[in-house]
């Protein structure tokens, strides 16, 4: 483990340096009064993003399914310094909800500067079990609702030179075991939103699209699901949340968190012969 320790130490130093220079370009004041619609805001990374936006003085509309939890997050946001906070409970597996949520947000905040798409449906971390209906449902929650929310929000985002922030995963760049349907929804996001980004630029429509590629994050759900099944260290949710917010505010096209995932993706492309074997060695599968 010694050489690994050295590598980790070196990467840590580089990360600190990068963070130092990166912060230079991020102006927290740009978020003061920014109008943000945040999905999946009741727990995990979304909840942490809500608190960061609150500290930066944003005006936030939170959405997720559970009203009681949303209310608690809203109250904490107010104590942290958010200018305004609203919430609307919504289930993104219902095709009619996305448009309603955007309408509600525009009505409450008077427009949008940020649409931050972060919610996901429950995804078991297990081998493909043949449940096609489940995959269809997850595609609705993790992908189609993102498309519908974006479509409804594009006019107000364009008017305000706004930003679209899409939270994805390493498994949306590199297929990993135990995530068949989840991985498919994240690949779909990359396809749709990276294509949309081209079109917005070609049409000189001033809306940035930021795709966020996250590794294993230490949310309760992720830790519980992956325990004993994968040999990877989880990164802190609050830090992931901040990386996403900074990337959106600086209109970066893609952000990787932790930052070295970018190099993991490059290696994946460069070494097609050995990559599957190496990747599988990080997973614990004992046949039943």
Given the complex with ligand NAG, which of 140 and 206 has the nearer CB atom? 206
3-state secondary structure of 36: strand
Interacting residue ranges for ligand NAG, rule: CB under 6 A: 161, 206, 228, 284, 286
Least distance CB 286 / ligand NAG (angstroms): 4
**Burial 225-264, CB ≥16 within 10 A → b, else e:** bbeebbeeeebebbbbbbbbbbbbbbbbebbbbbbbbeeb
The two structure tokens encoding residue 186: 């994240």
CA dihedral 189, 254, 64, 101 (to 10 degrees): -70
Given the complex with ligand NAG, which of 94 and 284 has the nearer CB atom? 284
Least distance CB 80 / ligand NAG (angstroms): 26
Given the complex with ligand NAG, which of 1 and 16 has the nearer CB atom? 1
Given the complex with ligand NAG, which of 195 and 284 has the nearer CB atom? 284
HSE value, Cβ hemisphere, 13 Å, CA-based, for 201: 10
Q: Rounded distance, CA 92 to CA 231, Å?
A: 32
Residues serving a catalytic function are: 182
Least distance CB 230 / ligand NAG (angstroms): 9
Least distance CB 74 / ligand NAG (angstroms): 28
């Amino acid at each position: 483990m010694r050489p690994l320790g050295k590598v980790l130490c070196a990467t840590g130093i580089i990360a600190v340096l990068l963070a130092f220079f990166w912060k230079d370009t991020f102006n927290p004041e740009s978020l003061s009064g920014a109008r943000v619609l945040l999905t999946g805001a009741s727990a995990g990374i979304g909840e942490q993003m809500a608190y960061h936006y609150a500290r930066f003085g944003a005006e936030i509309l939170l959405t997720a399914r559970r009203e009681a939890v949303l209310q608690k997050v809203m109250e904490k946001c107010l104590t942290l310094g958010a200018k305004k906070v609203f919430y609307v409970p919504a289930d993104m597996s219902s095709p009619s909800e996305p448009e309603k949520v955007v309408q509600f947000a525009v009505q409450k905040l008077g427009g949008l500067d940020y649409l931050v798409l972060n919610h996901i449906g429950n995804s078991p971390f297990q081998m493909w079990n043949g449940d096609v209906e489940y995959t269809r449902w997850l595609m609705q929650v993790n992908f189609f609702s993102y498309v519908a929310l974006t479509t409804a929000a594009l006019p107000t985002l364009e008017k305000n030179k706004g930003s679209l922030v899409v939270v994805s995963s390493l498994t949306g760049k590199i297929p990993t075991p135990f995530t068949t349907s989840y991985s498919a929804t994240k690949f779909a996001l990359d396809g749709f939103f990276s294509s949309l980004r081209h079109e917005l630029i070609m049409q000189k429509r001033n809306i940035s699209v930021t795709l966020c590629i996250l590794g294993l994050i230490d949310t309760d759900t992720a830790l519980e699901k992956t325990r004993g099944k994968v040999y990877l260290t989880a990164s802190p949710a609050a830090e992931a949340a901040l990386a996403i917010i900074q990337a959106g505010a600086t209109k970066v096209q893609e952000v990787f968190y932790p930052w070295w995932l970018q190099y993991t993706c490059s290696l994946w492309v460069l070494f097609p012969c050995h990559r599957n074997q190496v990747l599988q060695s990080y997973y614990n599968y004992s046949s039943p």
